[in-house]
Structure 1
């Protein structure tokens, strides 16, 4: 199912680690004299290790959706309601990373707003285009099998680089060869030649270049 620490996930998703800890660990906030405790958005696939959150591949993809919706202007409480409603409708603990959500996500968002204040429902309806765009863009580089997301092609959606929970513990690799992108990038830095590294690892030079470019993007985040 893949294995990621919070710093791993933060690096791959380009999300602050503190956000991931809040979303999957819950948090408290105080308003005046009242302290409110917010539960996690969902329970991670893996148990915690030494009180540190450990997450699986499906968690990683769900976090990617949460961040994309927040970036699109939706409130976390709106996303929280949607997750709860989608979990009930789809009978999936992690509903965003399913094929049903790809097809019905916009409807699920709007239906989850039923019962809230009229103004908020109207505001959410104005955001239908945003919701649709986020869903389409976020699924664009995901591979679906058996109605759930199985792989992520994180470098511009190209086939050369893949994050697959069944390979290399879900770390980014050269898709057709299984070599971690970080190993290829480090080798190019040491050898000074993409072509030489390609020969050493038996990986095409264009795939090595993609691995180097991808790792550079991650390090710049």
Structure 2
């Protein structure tokens, strides 16, 4: 859990809770529809929502964004929402945290959600897994979902998300540019704006001190097809 003492020692930690990501944007980063993500925050019949309820038009914090990314990964692996709800509720109680999917590393074999046993019992549990859906039953598994490899952890917090894939230089880190997607520490929208302003990619790369491939990766993340010129070039 992100403690108050940590927030005082490291002021950036307060940003973890600041609403900063519109629902549509969060859904796009997670590779899901906005409607699907909204449904995760809504009660399921007489069941609690998969993720904590939120006001319909409110933005999401960094921790909420990471939890959405994790749930999206589990759903794409074929794990049902009831199973995800069970796992999250168990983990939240076990670890005494409000954002278990953002603060602890989860692994999946496509059927069950598991947390590293070493988070519970220290080094004695190294390389073992606790099946949180079966409330503590040990299992062995060597498979790690691709989405979960996109996260970098620090003190059990998912502090950096390689939002365009683990091999992409684009990432989100609440310590940099207030959590905007960046490449080499520079917001990807800067590269988009240079493209729209008809700036050659090589010039943009030189100005920002990055590789041409970095600029191309930023533009791809921003949804720009570099094989087609900006509309303004055609006028």
Scaled by the length of structure 1, what TM-score is found?
0.72
Distance 1:113 1:99 in 2: 16
Which of 73, 91, 104 pairs up with 1:86?
91
**Offset at residue 167 of structure 1 (A):** 2.1
* Structure with a larger share of its residues in helix: 1
Deviations 1:113-161 (CA, angstroms, capped at 9, x unpaired): 99xxxxxxxxxx9xx86xx64x442331211001111011123323622
Q: Say what the alpha-carbon RMSD is for the aligned residues.
A: 3.0
- Which residue does 2:22 correspond to in 1? 5
**Structure 1 counterpart of 2:48:** 39
Q: Return the alpha-carbon distance in structure 2 between the equivalents of residues 217 and 199 of structure 1.
A: 20
**Offset, 1:77:** 0.6
DSSP-derived class of the 1:150 partner: strand
User: Which structure exhibits the higher relative contact order, with contacts defined as CA atoms closer than 8 Å and separated by 6 or more residues?
Assistant: 1
Q: Structure 1: where are the runs of 5+ without partners?
A: 29-35, 115-124
Does residue 107 in structure 1 map to residue 120 in structure 2? no
Distance in 1 (alpha carbons) for counterparts of 2:194 and 2:70: 33
- Normalising by structure 2, we get a TM-score of 0.68
Structure 2: how far apart are the matches of 1:158 and 1:70? 22
Task: Identify the match of residue 181 of structure 2 among 172, 176, 196.
Answer: 172
Aligned length: 189
Query: Which stretches of structure 1, 4 residues or more, deviate above 4 A after TM superposition?
Result: none
Task: Give the C-alpha shift of residue 87 in structure 1.
Answer: 1.0
* Alignment correspondent of 2:216: 209
- Structure 2 unaligned blocks of 5 or more: 1-15, 107-114, 118-127, 226-235
